[in-house]
């Protein structure tokens, strides 16, 4: 059965919930589809399930998330949880599946809010069991308050490293040590954006407090780590790291990696919408206007999937996109839209100034983008950095011919884990900017679905 | 600055690369001008069948030419593997076209009969097999109730089209072929004096060559007229889907479904027996999938990882066009929709003919003159 | 206000987990180490991202293969099994 609606929202994080609630309030028939079982996506995971914030999760954040979820629930927007979007057509037919049968939702406007993912950075041994991302461990914390008891190694760069470490300590877990890979030059670069940082001074202070708490708990922090390796035979047994040209090795049972977050742009890429290379955040993001409109008619995207802005700014951007949707569908006029948008924009301006400071402070080390030849880049198809470089030597100028030669990006994750890393490798091999290289073409289905689900799609 | 080559091949897909490979092996100094990462690349929508079955209905020469390629394929695959270490996964397994229900079975029987009778001798050697035969040929597979049988072509087989292109390009590099990606050709100009060769111009460079081969699929359209070619090339959209990797199922390749050497299953349509819709909508995909499930019901639980669609180059009668310009000798054109099946004969017989500057009797029937002749009611 | 605890079976062994947990999380708590073998190299792999991106947690859940275990919420009695290499058609 085809469902028709005015405003379809993909993703139930802050941007999606805020957009859906705003659109429904304005009278648009609104549907929110999300692949998770519960509202909140990653940042507000389980926000409806608990009365209060878990230890180490800011009470203020928790209240904000819960309020968004409540606003969404009260708005009258329809909510389809456990629903995977697998194809987006330019004519705004959106194909979904509930895990048993595929269906089509025909929408007059589609708003994509698929959030962020942790930047995948291949390194030796990163496929070993026992190696995960910091975000993965934090999801276990948010869903069932699991924290490592045997001591986890945290490695990388980004606010999440410190936030998660503090959460683990507060919840009674153990951190074996933090391997900070941020290059020393980051501090000086960040200081150029001091003005922005000053305007969000509370955020800076929160970050500093987290770091102090972790250090005060006696967690060993190793700075200027220039290279990392996970070692083990079928299971992580140790972590090797290099500081000042000296390699060290420590026993490890859990190694958590993090190199910041990047837009999860799979949906917008699959639409062939225009994307841009963001040098500051070292990622591709869809090109959007001030209302989140994409280059494809009737489609918009906002929140972290359109460029990393954080949860609060994401929710605000979601509201702007909903206002624009209502205008485009003739429910309000441009004047009404602008009037309602004014306070949202003002709030947005309060959240964004700190971004350049944070991006510079936690920027990933450049050498991470040049993994050694034998490092697996594509986890699904087991393709190494050398195979990618060989394809370039053979005349592949971009990732798509390379993919055809190596199968890199052809596995079930559809290039989510290797795409950006492969582009960085090709760019460095060819000595040009990733902006000239581009990304893999993203083909439907956005996630695998069974032939029987596919076959259930109604004809016509 | 003008550069020189013995032959400039325009197009670095399977067709251009196979011809260039053959020319380079015969000692020619070849330059290939190719598009960039976003080239249309019909090989990317190729199903990977090396297929004789159903080729040349109404044009037996195409049947013989394809048969010749299937004969050459085993050696061609071995050669590529020896030279590059890349396995194209070519297997001459025989191939099937499944028949669901009596109408399809009867229609297929009739088609085989008709095609056999068109030629003075039978290039195909196809035969109908019934459900019992299929079960004996593929003991591990459980067929749907509607599968009454199939047509079977003993010369058919399958190959990885991606590995084929990879192997060809690796071989080209080893043979010293000058491969230029990101070099879209803007113009090919014949010299003022007959036999004076050609100037091939890209955005940044000019190449001077006595011989030029247009082998760029749809990309040859804007280039051919100044060289005296008047051929019509149509676009056909094709859709293919690929599944997760499965353990080997013991399937013979068929149009509609085949298992690759990697274990993934390809589901889709091939170029002939257009029993399937080939548009790009999920609805068309769903109907392809429904048919695959009717053939092998257990496929219902396998997951589709990727679907994609692309353009195939097609001529009006679906047979290839090969010709040398009458007005400007030295300019050759090659276009077909079965570049993978024909790669072996392109790398040998066709490359030989181009190298020697004479398209012989076996190639003559593929001149586009045939369309004019038909129009005049020959 | 902790969620209720339920019992699931990871490779046949009973494990008690939070009702909010994902099947991948249950597999990790069961201590089985790896959750699948790569269909290409046979290497051991385990959940990496826990948010539906990496597909390393593909497991057989209640008899259905190749499910993203991190995206499936546990249910009482759920059978969660390792996926070893390429699937066999059955």
- Residue-wise DSSP of A379-444: TTTTEEHHHHHHHHHTT--SHHHHHHHH-TT-STTTTTTTHHHHHHHHHHHHTS-HHHH--PPP-S
CB atoms within 10 A of CB B158: 25
Q: Please provide the average confidence, as pLDDT, over all residues in chain B.
A: 91
Minimal C-alpha gap between B231 and chain C (Å): 45
CATH value at residue C10: 3.10.20.30
| Distance separating alpha carbons of residues A65 and A14, to the nearest angstrom | 7
pLDDT at A51 over 90: no
Residues of C in contact with B249 (CB under 8 A): 89
C13 within domain boundaries = yes
pLDDT at B21 over 80: yes
Task: Give the DSSP H or E segment for B299.
Answer: none
| Distance separating alpha carbons of residues A352 and A226, to the nearest angstrom | 30
CB contact under 8 A, B263 and C39: yes
Q: Output C90 or B362, whichever has higher pLDDT.
A: B362
Minimal C-alpha gap between C87 and chain B (Å): 5
Question: Nearest Cβ partner of A144 from C25, C47, C51?
Answer: C25
CB atoms within 10 A of CB B362: 15
Contacts of B212 (CB under 8 A, 6+ apart): B7, B8, B9, B10, B188, B198, B200, B227, B330, B331, B332
CB contact under 8 A, B307 and A443: yes
CB contact under 8 A, B293 and A452: yes
Question: Nearest Cβ partner of A380 from C1, C20, C55?
Answer: C55
Average confidence (pLDDT) over B320-327 = 96
C89 within domain boundaries = no
pLDDT at B83 over 50: yes
Average confidence (pLDDT) over B250-260 = 95
C40 within domain boundaries = yes
C90 within domain boundaries = no
Question: Nearest Cβ partner of B37 from A399, A411, A460?
Answer: A399
Residues of A in contact with B292 (CB under 8 A): 451
pLDDT of residue B40: 66
Which bin fits A156, alpha (ψ -120 to 50), beta or left (φ > 0)? left
C68 within domain boundaries = yes
User: Strand order in B303-314's β-sheet?
Assistant: A449-450, B303-314, B234-245, B264-268, B257-259
Is the CB of residue B298 less than 8 Å away from at least one CB of chain C?
Answer: yes
When pLDDT is cut at 50, 70 and 90, the band that residue B54 belongs to is confident
C86 within domain boundaries = no
pLDDT of residue B313: 84
- Domain housing C62: 5-81
Residues of B in contact with C64 (CB under 8 A): 301
CB contact under 8 A, A451 and B34: no
C88 within domain boundaries = no
Average confidence (pLDDT) over A3-21 = 96
| Distance separating alpha carbons of residues B308 and B322, to the nearest angstrom | 29
Residues of C in contact with A412 (CB under 8 A): 55, 58, 66
pLDDT at C4 over 70: yes
Closest alpha carbon within chain C to B298: C90
Question: Nearest Cβ partner of A127 from C22, C45, C53?
Answer: C45
Mutation site, B250, B257, B301, B306, interface C, largest C CB count within 10 A:
B301
Q: For A422-441, what is each residue's pLDDT tens digit?
A: 999 999 999 999 999 999 99
pLDDT of residue B44: 67
pLDDT of residue B374: 62
Number of structural domains (chain C) is: 1
ipTM: 0.96
Q: Which domains does chain B have, with CATH numbers?
A: 2-52+162-232+319-375 (3.50.50.60), 95-154 (no CATH), 234-314 (3.30.9.10)
Number of A/C CB contacts below 8 angstroms equals 105
pTM: 0.94
Whether residue A158 contacts residue A178, with contact meaning beta carbons closer than 8 Å, is answered with: no
Chains linked to A by 3 or more Cβ pairs within 8 Å: B, C
pLDDT of residue B119: 82
pLDDT of residue B276: 38
Chains linked to B by 3 or more Cβ pairs within 8 Å: A, C
C59 within domain boundaries = yes
When pLDDT is cut at 50, 70 and 90, the band that residue A361 belongs to is very high
Q: For A89-117, what is each residue's pLDDT tens digit?
A: 999 999 999 999 999 999 999 999 999 99
CB contact under 8 A, B282 and A454: yes
Whether residue B30 contacts residue B6, with contact meaning beta carbons closer than 8 Å, is answered with: yes
Q: For B153-189, what is each residue's pLDDT tens digit?
A: 999 999 999 999 999 999 999 999 999 999 999 999 9
CB contact under 8 A, C46 and A447: no
pLDDT of residue B273: 37
| A419 closest CA partner among A229, A230, A258, A262 | A262
When pLDDT is cut at 50, 70 and 90, the band that residue B378 belongs to is very low
Minimal C-alpha gap between A195 and chain C (Å): 35
Burial of residue A1 (number of CB atoms within 10 Å: 0-12, 13-18, 19+) = exposed
When pLDDT is cut at 50, 70 and 90, the band that residue A445 belongs to is very high
């Amino acid at each position: 059965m085809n469902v028709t609606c005015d405003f379809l929202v993909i993703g139930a994080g802050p941007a999606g919930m805020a957009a859906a609630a705003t659109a429904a309030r304005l009278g648009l028939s609104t549907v929110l589809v999300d692949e998770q079982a519960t509202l909140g996506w990653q940042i507000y995971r389980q926000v409806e399930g608990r009365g209060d914030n878990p230890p180490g999760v800011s009470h203020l954040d928790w209240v904000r998330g819960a309020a968004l979820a409540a606003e969404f629930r009260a708005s009258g927007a329809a909510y389809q949880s456990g629903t995977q979007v697998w194809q987006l057509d330019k004519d705004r037919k959106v194909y979904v599946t509930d895990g048993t049968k595929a269906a089509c939702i025909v929408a007059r406007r589609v708003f994509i809010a698929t959030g962020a993912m942790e930047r995948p950075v291949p390194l030796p041994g990163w496929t070993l069991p026992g190696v995960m991302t910091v975000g993965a461990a934090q999801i276990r914390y948010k869903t069932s308050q699991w924290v490592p008891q045997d001591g986890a190694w945290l490695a990388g760069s980004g606010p999440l490293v410190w936030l998660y470490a503090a959460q683990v300590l507060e919840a009674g877990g153990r951190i074996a040590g933090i391997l900070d890979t941020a290059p020393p030059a980051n501090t000086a670069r960040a200081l150029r954006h001091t003005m922005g940082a000053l305007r969000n001074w509370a955020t800076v202070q929160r970050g500093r407090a987290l770091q102090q708490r972790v250090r005060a708990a006696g967690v060993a922090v190793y700075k200027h780590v220039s290279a990392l390796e996970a070692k083990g035979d079928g299971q992580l047994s140790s972590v090797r790291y290099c500081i000042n040209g000296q390699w060290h090795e420590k026993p490890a049972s859990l190694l958590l990696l993090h190199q910041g977050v990047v837009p999860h742009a799979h949906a917008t890429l699959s639409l062939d919408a225009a994307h841009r290379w963001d040098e500051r955040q070292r990622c591709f993001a869809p090109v959007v206007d001030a209302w989140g409109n994409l280059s494809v008619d009737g489609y918009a995207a906002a929140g972290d999937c359109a460029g990393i802005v954080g949860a609060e700014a994401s929710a605000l951007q979601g509201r702007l996109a909903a206002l624009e949707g209502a205008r485009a569908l003739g429910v309000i006029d441009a004047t009404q839209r602008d009037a309602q948008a004014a306070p949202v924009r003002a709030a947005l301006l309060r959240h964004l100034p700190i971004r350049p400071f944070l991006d510079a402070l936690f920027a990933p080390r450049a050498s991470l983008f040049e993994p050694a030849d034998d490092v697996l880049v594509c986890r699904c198809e087991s393709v190494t950095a050398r195979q990618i470089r060989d394809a370039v030597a053979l005349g592949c100028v971009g990732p798509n011919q390379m993919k055809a030669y190596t199968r890199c990006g052809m596995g079930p994750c559809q290039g989510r884990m290797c795409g950006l890393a492969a582009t960085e490798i090709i760019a460095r091999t060819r000595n040009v900017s990733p902006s000239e290289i581009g990304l893999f073409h993203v083909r439907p289905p956005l996630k695998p679905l069974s032939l029987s689900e596919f076959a259930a799609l109604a004809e016509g | 600055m003008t550069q020189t080559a013995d032959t400039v091949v325009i197009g670095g897909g399977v067709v251009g690369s196979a011809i260039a490979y053959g020319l380079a092996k015969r000692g020619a100094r070849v330059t290939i001008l190719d598009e960039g990462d976003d080239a249309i690349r019909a090989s990317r929508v190729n199903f990977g069948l090396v297929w004789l079955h159903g080729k040349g209905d109404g044009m037996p020469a195409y049947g013989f030419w394809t048969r010749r390629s299937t004969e050459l394929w085993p050696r061609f695959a071995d050669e590529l593997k020896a030279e590059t270490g890349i396995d194209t996964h070519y297997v001459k397994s025989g191939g099937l076209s499944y028949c669901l229900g009596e109408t399809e079975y009867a229609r297929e029987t009739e088609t085989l009969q008709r095609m056999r009778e068109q030629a003075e001798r039978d290039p195909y050697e196809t035969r109908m097999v019934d459900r019992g035969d299929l079960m004996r040929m593929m003991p591990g597979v459980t067929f749907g109730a509607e599968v009454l049988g199939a047509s079977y072509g003993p010369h058919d087989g399958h190959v990885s089209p991606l590995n084929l292109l990879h192997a060809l390009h690796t071989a080209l590099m080893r043979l010293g072929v000058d491969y230029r990606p990101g070099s879209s050709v803007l113009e090919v100009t014949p010299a003022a004096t007959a036999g004076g060769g050609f100037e091939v111009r890209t955005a940044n460079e000019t190449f001077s060559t006595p011989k030029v081969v247009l082998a760029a699929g749809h990309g040859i359209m804007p280039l051919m007229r100044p060289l005296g070619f008047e051929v019509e090339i149509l676009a056909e959209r094709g859709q293919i889907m690929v599944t997760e990797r499965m353990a080997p199922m013991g399937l013979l390749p068929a149009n509609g479904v085949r298992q690759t050497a990697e274990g993934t299953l390809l589901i889709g349509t091939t170029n002939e027996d257009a029993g399937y819709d080939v548009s790009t909508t999920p609805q068309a995909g769903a109907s392809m999938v429904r048919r695959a499930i009717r053939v092998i019901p257990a496929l219902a639980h396998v997951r589709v990882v990727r679907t994609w669609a692309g353009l195939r180059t097609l001529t009006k009668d679906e047979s290839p066009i090969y010709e040398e310009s009458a007005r400007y000798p030295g300019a050759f054109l090659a276009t077909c929709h079965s570049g993978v099946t024909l790669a072996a004969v392109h790398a040998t017989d066709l490359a030989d003919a181009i190298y020697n500057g004479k398209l012989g009797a076996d190639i003559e029937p593929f001149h586009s003159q045939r369309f004019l002749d038909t129009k005049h009611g020959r | 206000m902790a969620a209720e605890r339920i019992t699931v079976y990871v490779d046949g062994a009973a494990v008690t987990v939070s009702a909010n947990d994902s099947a991948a999380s249950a597999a990790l708590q069961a201590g089985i180490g790896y959750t699948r073998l790569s269909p290409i190299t046979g290497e051991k792999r385990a959940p990496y991202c826990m948010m539906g991106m990496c597909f390393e947690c593909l497991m057989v859940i209640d008899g259905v293969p190749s499910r993203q275990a991190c995206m499936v919420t546990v249910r009482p009695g759920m059978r969660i099994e390792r996926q070893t290499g390429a699937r066999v058609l059955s």
